[in-house]
Amino acid sequence: MGSALEKKLADAGYKMSGFETKVERLILDILDSENIRYLKAIPFLIYSYNLHPDRLFLISEKTKKKKLFAQIIGITKRLFLEEGISRELPNLDEPGNFSYDEFKKEFEQQKVSSEKPNLLTEKLKISAELDLQMWLSQLFTKKEKWIIKRMMEEKPVSRTDYEYYSRKTRKKLNSIMNLQEIAATLYHKSPVTDEDLFKLKKMLEEKYGPIKGFLLQSSYLLLTLLNDKTDKPSTIKAIEIKLLAPEIIFLLGKFRQHDFV
């Protein structure tokens, strides 16, 4: 009954004096095994679980392998010192015949392995930041990117920068939000190309000027011409088919009508 209550208290986050945690039980079992392969794991367990000196002293009191545990604590102290790990350890130390280098190699391997997820996270953060900067560069000026970065980090900007943002950047952001749906649709499509059609357009424009479209009608080609001034309406020009170059006539057989706007 008592041990069950102690377990429930431990699960609730309450630490009773003398109560044995899973990692402490694990260390006691490793000490009982006296297997060097498992003994080399103890320094990393102490580091990884940040065991308090009182808990380590309690292990020393409970284990029958007191001298063995004291030897490993001595090795752990040296490891922490060389690794620059600031941890308080109990005043236990015994000389032994263990290879310190083997313990050190095992500890370093486990430490590097445990830190890999953090290194990966940092790499992903850097990659995401580079991607963000690339995307921002395609739409915003250097000054706009700086203001956006300040805003994302919730840092202040000057009144001049605020006015610049309101006048330019905010309008771009509004356009981006409103274009999300159409952008998602267009992203998975590709423009249709037709070299002959635009070859025909180029040939007509070289002779008659910028055009909005054309219509082949009986013996005439009707061209809708663009005006230089936007306030003037487009004009229609009728050209007899027989006056057109043979190559244009050939292409008009394929494209009898088209609007370029």
pLDDT of residue 11: 57
Q: pLDDT for 227-248, tens place per residue?
A: 776 666 778 999 999 999 999 9
For the chain, the residue count is 261
Give the confidence band of 170 by pLDDT, cuts at 50, 70, 90: very high
pLDDT of residue 169: 93
Q: pLDDT for 40-99, tens place per residue?
A: 999 989 888 888 888 888 888 899 999 999 999 999 899 989 888 888 888 887 787 888
Helix (H) or strand (E) run with residue 42 in it: helix 42-48
* Closest to 202 measured CA to CA, from 187, 214, 184: 214
pLDDT above 60 for 16: no
Q: 20: Cβ–Cβ under 8 A, 6 or more apart, which residues?
A: 28, 58, 62
Q: Parallel, antiparallel, or unpaired: how do β-strands 235-240 and 257-259 relate?
A: unpaired
Give the confidence band of 3 by pLDDT, cuts at 50, 70, 90: very low
pLDDT above 80 for 134: yes
User: What average pLDDT does this structure show over 147-157?
Assistant: 90
Give 137-203 as a DSSP string.
HTTS-HHHHHHHHHHHTT----HHHHHHIIIIIHHHHHHHHHTHHHHHHHHT------HHHHHHHHH
pLDDT above 60 for 15: no
Average pLDDT, the chain: 84
| Tokens 């739409």 found at | 139
Q: pLDDT for 183-220, tens place per residue?
A: 888 888 888 899 999 999 999 999 999 999 999 998 99
Name the DSSP letter for residue 192.
-
Percent of the chain scoring above 70 in pLDDT: 86
Name the DSSP letter for residue 241.
G
* Closest to 237 measured CA to CA, from 260, 210, 255: 210
Cβ(151)–Cβ(136) below 8 Å: no
pLDDT of residue 111: 84
User: What average pLDDT does this structure show over 168-196?
Assistant: 89
Name the DSSP letter for residue 212.
E
What is the pTM (predicted TM-score) of this model? 0.42
The pair of three-digit structure tokens given for residue 43, joined into one six-digit string: 């320094």
pLDDT above 60 for 249: yes
